[in-house]
Amino acid sequence: MACGLNVFSIITLIVANLSPLAGGAPQVPCYFIFGDSLADDGNNNPLLSLAKVNFPPYGIDFPDGPTGRFTNGRTTVDIIAELLGFTDRILPFVNATGTNILRGVNYASGGGGIRDETGTNVGGRFSMNGQLANHQVTLSRIATLRRSTVDEAKEYVGKCIYSVGIGSNDYINNYLIPQIYPTSTLFTPDQYAAALITQYEQQLRTLYTAGARKVALFDVGPIGCTPAEIATFGTNGSACVDFINAYVTLFNTRLKTLVDQLNCDLTDGKFIYINTTHINSGDPSAAGITILNAPCCSVSATTGLCIPNSIPCTNRSIYAFWDAFHPTEIVSQLVAPRAYSAATPMDTYPIDIRCLAQLQLY
């Protein structure tokens, strides 16, 4: 996707894109990550929670083993960080200390959602509001490290990339469990999507107030295609649980509209939409992924997560799902490069992360 830059900027962009290979500086000073289990890299480990995975076979293909990532290897945000030129992992908030925070922090939390009550059924987790509070702590720490004011710290982070991917749990661990949560009786699917977006908009404006200026928003993927939801609701002959994906579409449509609204209102910032649903809509067999609706590992009937210390499938590159909810690394290897550098105009809107990183907003 072209960035619409002048000749000088294009040359700068080409050089910057070589930096991950040439060992140069990252394309932005730091990368901050908000979200749920698709991006969590260990924030839930110290919590009393069913939503934590710091045990084998998680991390079987990750250099550091089971770190708390909900997959066999790297997550999508891990790979995006690499594409941005970061040679070291972005650390989870619960472990990030010292000068490490100057290159970013990961706040994502398994079970977390836009709504504060989302995920109470799994126990401890950081909601989006909790993650925003943790980011305020980081801003104060950055100001201390740089011997500056918080306002100067905000100017520093304004040059960084932020990614936010949240909302899945507001369905999986809220709206779709009527025996625990009343939301499905209080809201129609359309009303619920609208309520989520209203709250999400407030949270994103809070993030902007905290200094964020380059923000990539990930859609909610087709969660009706997860093995867990298929097992719970059935498909009536379809490949996925169609009504769940229809609920999610209501949310995603509003999210893309919200991107336009935020860009209109907050003119010194840039928000973009990452359409993972479209990225994942192609023929997976072209990438060698042939098993689409079964987990690679043996899963708990209670949590849908891998049974601790169980032996997973050996050919993980042919499985779309690692456990009953989360994709394998091979899926992240397909999604991340197209979020970073769009292969089609449908992948991202209005620009991709690569172009977002190059924007000069100050």
Given the residues 40, 41, 323, 347, the one annotated as active site: 323
Given the residues 78, 326, 332, 352, the one annotated as active site: 326
Average pLDDT, the chain: 94
Question: Could you tell me the pLDDT band of residue 140, with boundaries at 50, 70 and 90?
Answer: very high
Q: Residue 11: its pLDDT value, please? A: 30
* Cβ within 8 Å of residue 116, ≥6 positions away: 127, 129, 130
Q: What is the pLDDT of residues 24-49, one digit of tens each?
A: 799 999 999 999 999 999 999 999 99
Residue written as token pair 């973009």? 272
Is the pLDDT at 76 greater than 90? The verdict is: yes
Q: Residue 21: its pLDDT value, please? A: 41
| 116 has catalytic annotation | no
| 37 has catalytic annotation | yes
Three-state SS for 216? strand
Report the sign of the C-alpha dihedral through residues 122, 124, 128, 131, in that order.
Answer: negative
Question: Could you tell me the pLDDT band of residue 8, with boundaries at 50, 70 and 90?
Answer: very low
Is the pLDDT at 4 greater than 80? The verdict is: no
CA neighbor of 157 nearest in space, from 117, 205, 102: 102
Q: Which two tokens stand for residue 142?
A: 């950055």
Residue written as token pair 């989360």? 326
Q: Residue 1: its pLDDT value, please? A: 55
d(CA 52, CA 40): 9
Question: Could you tell me the pLDDT band of residue 23, with boundaries at 50, 70 and 90?
Answer: low
Structural domains for the chain: 26-358 (3.40.50.1110)
Question: Could you tell me the pLDDT band of residue 263, with boundaries at 50, 70 and 90?
Answer: very high
Q: Which two tokens stand for residue 175?
A: 């709206």
Residue written as token pair 């200026």? 213
Question: Could you tell me the pLDDT band of residue 14, with boundaries at 50, 70 and 90?
Answer: very low
Is the pLDDT at 167 greater than 80? The verdict is: yes
| 190 has catalytic annotation | no
Query: Please, what's the b/e burial string for 166-200 (b: 16 or more CB within 10 A of its CB; e: otherwise)?
Result: bbbbbbbbbbbeeeebebbeeeebeebbebbbebb
Q: Rounded to two decimals, what is the model's pTM?
A: 0.94
d(CA 187, CA 111): 21
Given the residues 36, 37, 78, 170, the one annotated as active site: 37
